[in-house]
A and B are shown apart, each in its own frame.
Chain A
C-alpha cells in the first residue's frame, strides 16, 4: 500500500493513441497539501497526465491512486476533484452563483450551508457582489476567479489546474499567479498545476515535474531544478543558456578539465554531470552549459585563480532596466552575459574578462 502522505500516486502509466505514445511510463507522487507543477513544452503530455488523474483519459497500463484508493476504473464524476480549465469553462447559461451551486447541489449540500460556502468561496477569490452576473458579463480575470471558486467550493480532494492563466494578459497573469499560490496555501488543498511557462512554474511551485515527450525528466523543488538540472533538456528548458563543446582531458574526484573544441580549457565541478548515468570518462566528447547570469564580466586586469577566466570582446549591449544583457565573443563563441552593471567606457569592441565558478557550469556527454 502507499504511504498516507501522498495524495496522488501514479505508477507506470502508459498511454498510446494510434501510433503516438502520449504517456511513456509516468511515475509520480503528489504530497498532501503541496502545489506541484507539471512543466514542459507543448505536446509533452501535461494535459494528458492531468486528464488521467481527473478520469478523462483511460490508460493502457499502470495505476492511479488518489488518497490511497485505486481510481483506474472510477469515472471522472465520481472522483470528487476540482478542475480549472484553460478556457474557464463556466456554464454560460448560469449565473456566477448558479455555477458555484452546481457542484454543491449534486452533493446534496443543505441550502443554508450552500449559501455560506458559496459566499466564502467568492470572498476567497474576491468576487463578492457579482453573484448574479452571467459569465458573459465578466472579464477574463474575473471568469478565471469564478472558475477557481467553482472548483474549490465543493472542497475537492485535489485541485487540478490546466494552464489556467495562459489566456490572460501578462499583468493579470502575474497577479493571479500570486493569488493562486496564496489561495492554495490558505485552503491547503493538494494542487496540480499545468504550465509551459518556466517562470510561472519556478515562482509558484513547491515542486516541479519537468516533462518531455511523454516522460518525466526530473522532479524537484524550483531551486533543485534550476541549479541542479539532471538532464540537458531540463537545463535548456528552465532558463537561458550558453553552450560550449569540447573533450574531457582529465578527471579527479572534484574537477573535470575539458579541452574546448576551438581553444582553451575550462574546469567543471565533477558533481555537475548531467544525463542518464551522470558520468563521463576521459576522452568523451562533451557539451558544457552555463547560464547568462552566472557569467561574471570584469575589466581585463581582474582575474580570479579559482575561476574559469577568459578574455572576451563585447559584441552587443542591451539595457534591460534591472540588468545589462551583454553579448560577448568568448573562446570563438557568442555568449550571453547578464550582469547588473557595467563599467564606464565599456562599449562594443571593448576587451573584458569573463569568468565563472566551475560549480555553475553543467556538463553532459554528447
Chain B
C-alpha cells in the first residue's frame, strides 16, 4: 500500500545515490553488507556514468576558439555563446515546448487509461498492463518508422483526415513538431499510465463511497477526491515523461529531422558531425541543468502547494 515515494522519483531524475541503510554504528555490519551488494552497480555507475559526465563537464569549460587557437584555455565562453546565439536559444525553447506538449498529450491520453485500469478486475488489469507496456517491447527505431509511414503526406493518417473531410490538403505531420510530439507521446505514454495507475491503486475505494454518501456526484467525487489523491502519480509521470522527452534524440531526429532541431539533436550534431566536442558538451550541460531546474521547481511547487498533504 506504500505510495510511490518522492525520493524514488527524484533519484530516477537526478540519479542521486543514497545508501540503502542508515550509517548508524550499530548497523555498521548491515551497512557494509549493503555497500558490498551495491558495489558492482556502484562501480558501473562511476565508470560509465560519473566519470564520463565529469569529463564532459570538464570539456564544456575548454575554449578552443578563443585567442589561443588550439591552445586550450579554460573559460565559460561555450556557455556564453549558447545564451547569446538566438539559434540555440530557439532550440532550447523548442525542446521545452515539444517536451511540454508531450507531457500534456500523454497526461490527457494516459489518465483515462489509468483510471480504467484502476476500476477493472485484477485479471483485466493484468492484461491492460501488458497492453500498455507493449510499446516498450518494440525497438524505438522500428516504432518510429511505423509512425513515419502513417504520417507521410500521403500516408494513412492524412488519407483518413482528407477522407473524413477534416482537412482538404495533407497536414504536415512528419518533420514537424506535431510529428515529434506524436512519436514521443507514443514512446513515453506507458510511463505516464503506469505511474498514474499505481497511485490510483493506492486510493482506498471507500473514500469514493464516503464522498457519494455525503452528496458528491461521481464527477464531483472524481474532481475532489480521486484527482487530488492521484497527484503523486501525475507528478511523477509528468516528471518522467518530461525529462525523457527533453533528452530524447532518436524520435526527434527521425520524426522532426532538420525542421525540429531540439537540443539533443544539436548536441549530437556539434559533437559527431562538426567535431566541436567542447561546445557540444556545454550544450549537453545546459540541457541537463535546465531539465533539472524545471523538474525541481515543478515538484517543489507541487509539494508545497494546495495538496501538499497528498505527498506525505
| A275-293 with Cβ < 8 A to chain B | none
B220 CB contacts on chain A under 8 angstroms: 106
Residue A85, interface by CB 8 Å:
yes
- In angstroms, Cα B216 to Cα A78, docked, is 8
- Contact assessment for A106 and B216 in the assembled complex, using a CB-CB cutoff below 8 Å: yes
The stretch of A19-27, A87-95, A231-239, A302-310 that contacts the partner chain: A87-95
Number of interface residues of A (CB under 8 A): 31
- In angstroms, Cα B204 to Cα A169, docked, is 22
- Contact assessment for B213 and A77 in the assembled complex, using a CB-CB cutoff below 8 Å: yes
Given contacts A76-B209, A87-B204, A87-B206, contact A92 B214 (CB under 8 A): no
Q: Pick from A81, A83, A86, A91: contact of B207, CB below 8 A.
A: A91
Residue A154, interface by CB 8 Å:
yes
Residue A126, interface by CB 8 Å:
no
- Contact assessment for A89 and B214 in the assembled complex, using a CB-CB cutoff below 8 Å: no
- Contact assessment for A150 and B229 in the assembled complex, using a CB-CB cutoff below 8 Å: no
- Contact assessment for B211 and A92 in the assembled complex, using a CB-CB cutoff below 8 Å: no
- Contact assessment for A106 and B214 in the assembled complex, using a CB-CB cutoff below 8 Å: yes
Residue A136, interface by CB 8 Å:
yes
Chain B residue nearest to A84 (CB atoms) is: B210
Residue B132, interface by CB 8 Å:
no
Chain B residue nearest to A135 (CB atoms) is: B309
- In angstroms, Cα B141 to Cα A294, docked, is 84
Q: Secondary structure of the B side of the interface?
A: helix
- In angstroms, Cα B265 to Cα A235, docked, is 81
A78 CB contacts on chain B under 8 angstroms: 215
A89 CB contacts on chain B under 8 angstroms: 204, 206-207, 209-210
Chain B residue nearest to A90 (CB atoms) is: B210
- In angstroms, Cα B224 to Cα A85, docked, is 19
- In angstroms, Cα B214 to Cα A54, docked, is 11
Given contacts A77-B217, A106-B216, contact A93 B211 (CB under 8 A): no
- In angstroms, Cα B307 to Cα A94, docked, is 8
- Contact assessment for A103 and B214 in the assembled complex, using a CB-CB cutoff below 8 Å: yes
Question: Quick one: CB contact mask for B220-251 with A, threshold 8 Å, 1 for yes?
Answer: 11001100110000000000000000000000
CB distance from B153 to the nearest CB of A (A): 49
B229 CB contacts on chain A under 8 angstroms: 92-93
CB distance from A74 to the nearest CB of B (A): 12
B213 CB contacts on chain A under 8 angstroms: 54, 76-77, 79, 81-83, 151, 160
Chain B residue nearest to A51 (CB atoms) is: B209
A160 CB contacts on chain B under 8 angstroms: 213
Chain A residue nearest to B221 (CB atoms) is: A77
B210 CB contacts on chain A under 8 angstroms: 83, 85, 89-91, 150
B209 CB contacts on chain A under 8 angstroms: 54, 56, 76, 83, 85, 89
B21 CB contacts on chain A under 8 angstroms: none
Residue B123, interface by CB 8 Å:
no
Residue B310, interface by CB 8 Å:
yes
Residue A134, interface by CB 8 Å:
yes
- Contact assessment for A136 and B215 in the assembled complex, using a CB-CB cutoff below 8 Å: no
B309 CB contacts on chain A under 8 angstroms: 92-94, 134, 136
A93 CB contacts on chain B under 8 angstroms: 228-229, 307, 309-310
- In angstroms, Cα B122 to Cα A278, docked, is 48
CB distance from A150 to the nearest CB of B (A): 7
- In angstroms, Cα B214 to Cα A90, docked, is 12
Residue A107, interface by CB 8 Å:
yes
A75 CB contacts on chain B under 8 angstroms: 212
| A101-147 with Cβ < 8 A to chain B | 102-103, 106-107, 134, 136
B310 CB contacts on chain A under 8 angstroms: 92-93
- Contact assessment for A102 and B211 in the assembled complex, using a CB-CB cutoff below 8 Å: yes
CB distance from B225 to the nearest CB of A (A): 6
- In angstroms, Cα B215 to Cα A81, docked, is 8
- In angstroms, Cα B216 to Cα A91, docked, is 13
- Contact assessment for B215 and A80 in the assembled complex, using a CB-CB cutoff below 8 Å: yes
Residue B312, interface by CB 8 Å:
yes
Question: Quick one: CB contact mask for A54-73 with B, threshold 8 Å, 1 for yes?
Answer: 11100000000000000000
A91 CB contacts on chain B under 8 angstroms: 207, 210-211, 224-225
- Contact assessment for B204 and A77 in the assembled complex, using a CB-CB cutoff below 8 Å: no
Question: Quick one: CB contact mask for B187-223 with A, threshold 8 Å, 1 for yes?
Answer: 0000000000000000010110111111111101100
Given contacts A85-B210, A93-B309, contact A106 B204 (CB under 8 A): no
A76 CB contacts on chain B under 8 angstroms: 209, 212-213
- In angstroms, Cα B212 to Cα A80, docked, is 10
| B292-312 with Cβ < 8 A to chain A | 307, 309-310, 312
Chain A residue nearest to B231 (CB atoms) is: A93
- In angstroms, Cα B217 to Cα A151, docked, is 17
Question: Quick one: CB contact mask for B53-79 with A, threshold 8 Å, 1 for yes?
Answer: 000000000000000000000000000
A92 CB contacts on chain B under 8 angstroms: 207, 229, 309-310
CB distance from B285 to the nearest CB of A (A): 38
Given contacts A76-B209, A89-B209, contact A154 B204 (CB under 8 A): no
B228 CB contacts on chain A under 8 angstroms: 93
- In angstroms, Cα B215 to Cα A300, docked, is 67
- Contact assessment for B312 and A136 in the assembled complex, using a CB-CB cutoff below 8 Å: yes
B225 CB contacts on chain A under 8 angstroms: 91
- In angstroms, Cα B214 to Cα A81, docked, is 7
Chain B residue nearest to A75 (CB atoms) is: B212
A77 CB contacts on chain B under 8 angstroms: 211-218, 221
B218 CB contacts on chain A under 8 angstroms: 77
A94 CB contacts on chain B under 8 angstroms: 309
- Contact assessment for A154 and B215 in the assembled complex, using a CB-CB cutoff below 8 Å: yes
- In angstroms, Cα B212 to Cα A327, docked, is 52
- In angstroms, Cα B224 to Cα A93, docked, is 10
- A-B contact sample (5 more), CB < 8 A, given A92-B229, A92-B309, A150-B210: A77-B213, A77-B217, A78-B215, A91-B224, A102-B211
Residues of A within 8 A of B (CB): 54-56, 75-83, 85-87, 89-94, 102-103, 106-107, 134, 136, 150-151, 154, 160
Residues of B within 8 A of A (CB): 204, 206-207, 209-218, 220-221, 224-225, 228-229, 307, 309-310, 312
10 pairs, A vs B, C-beta closer than 8 Å: A55-B212, A75-B212, A76-B209, A85-B210, A92-B229, A93-B228, A106-B214, A106-B216, A150-B210, A160-B213
